[in-house]
């Protein structure tokens, strides 16, 4: 997407929209117009907030839509009853990642260690050179995180950032700098570092994560755990042993760059942010604990070991925050 397309979508495209009738007032939580990115290959807009309602039109992955209200109705996920009212109908929120179009002031001169940065638009295409005409390396989605290693002028007379991928540190991938929100050291300062008695409990039956300080719950979020079998989230008493703001995760049926704020507690299993679905409350993963990106960042800052900002990761053998999965 270009800057012009983003601005057109978030502004003029909303004018004159023909909307369906409102449901009863007590069924609606009124919201200002917001944007969402379709996360599934194919998603239907329906005339009513019901999977049995007639279809209006189909959206494809990475389509960016405007939604106007959140409506409570029956959904396929028992923990998610929210539908979004959109132009001409309703779409189930599990299939839509809430996003923003936040264009940032580019940094021409980067700090010596190179800041971290998160994608702050629905998506942007990383290219082999700082040019809109260069071939696409990857599509990077909203809230994914990368290390910014270089700021250069592109052929379009705009600043572009080179982003580092942990699986291919030497790969050339550039994105328009205004599409990346820098994350500075002060943004990742530890939360309540003076508290030593911390633990995370994860209930797989409830698909719920709770963080405790001195036996008092201080944070909770719905999760999507492993789907079972050889993709089950391991039960038991674990500890966080490895943390990184960004990991490129690849498997037989997925390729996910820039997975944000990863806190590993058992082998390759981590608590991490998720941009490829909004379906928390039921199992969906290959074993990891999917949480919303904002929750992943909070847990990343709250848990030990404390992450040194100038490094790419931190690893310990013992002493990390306990993670109890049952």
Fold match, 3-99 / 198-325: no
> What's the pLDDT score for residue 113?
83
pLDDT tens-digit series, residues 175-201 = 999 999 999 999 999 999 999 999 999
214 half-sphere exposure, CB direction, 13 A CA radius: 5
Taking the C-alpha atoms of residue 259 and residue 276, their distance in angstroms, rounded to an integer, is: 10
Q: For the chain, which residues make up each domain, given as ranges?
A: 3-99, 116-183, 198-325
List of the chain residues with pLDDT < 50:
3, 6-8, 10-29, 31
Task: Give 27-90 as a DSSP string.
Answer: GEEEEEEEEEEE-SSEEEEESSSSTTSPEEEEEETT-EEEEEEEEE---SSTT--EEEEETTEE
- Give domain 116-183's CATH superfamily: SH3 Domains (2.30.30.40)
| CATH number, domain 3-99 | 2.30.30
Q: Quickly tell me which residue has 């004159």 as its tokens.
A: 16
Which CATH fold topology does 198-325 show? Answer: L,D-transpeptidase catalytic domain-like (2.40.440)
Quote the CA–CA distance of 16 and 172 in Å, as a whole number. Answer: 43
What would the pLDDT profile of 295-321 be if each residue is shown by its tens digit? 999 999 999 999 999 999 999 999 999
* Res 32: pLDDT: 72
Give pTM, 2 decimals: 0.89
pLDDT at 1: 54
Which H/E stretch holds residue 158?
Answer: none
């Amino acid at each position: 997407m270009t800057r012009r397309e983003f601005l057109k979508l978030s502004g003029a495209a909303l004018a004159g929209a023909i909307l369906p009738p409102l449901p009863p007032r007590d069924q609606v939580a009124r919201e200002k117009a917001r944007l969402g990115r379709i996360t599934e290959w194919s998603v239907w807009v329906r005339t009513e907030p019901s999977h049995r309602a007639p279809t209006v039109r189909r959206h494809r992955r990475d389509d960016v839509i405007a939604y106007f209200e959140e409506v409570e109705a029956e959904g396929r996920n028992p923990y998610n009853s929210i539908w979004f009212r959109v132009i001409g109908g309703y779409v189930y929120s599990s299939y839509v990642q809430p996003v923003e179009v936040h264009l940032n002031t580019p940094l021409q001169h980067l700090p010596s260690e190179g800041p971290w940065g998160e994608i702050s638009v629905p998506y942007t295409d990383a290219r082999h050179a700082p040019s809109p005409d260069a071939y696409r390396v990857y599509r990077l989605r909203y809230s994914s995180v990368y290390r910014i290693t270089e700021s250069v002028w592109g052929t379009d007379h705009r600043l572009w950032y080179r982003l580092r991928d942990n699986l291919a540190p030497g790969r050339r991938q550039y994105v328009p700098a205004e599409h990346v929100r820098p994350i500075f050291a002060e943004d990742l300062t530890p939360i309540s570092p003076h508290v030593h008695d911390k633990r995370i409990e994860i209930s797989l039956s409830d698909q719920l994560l709770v963080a405790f300080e001195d036996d008092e719950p201080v944070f909770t979020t719905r999760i999507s755990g492993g789907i079972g079998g050889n993709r089950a989230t391991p039960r038991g008493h674990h500890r966080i042993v490895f943390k990184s703001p960004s990991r490129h995760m690849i498997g037989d049926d997925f390729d996910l760059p820039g997975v944000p704020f990863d806190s590993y507690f058992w082998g390759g299993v981590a608590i991490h942010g998720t941009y490829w679905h909004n379906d928390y409350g039921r199992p969906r993963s290959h074993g990891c604990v999917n949480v919303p990106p904002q929750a992943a960042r909070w847990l990343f800052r709250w848990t030990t070991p404390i992450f040194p900002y100038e490094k790419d990761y931190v690893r310990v053998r013992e002493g990390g925050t306990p993670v109890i999965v049952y």
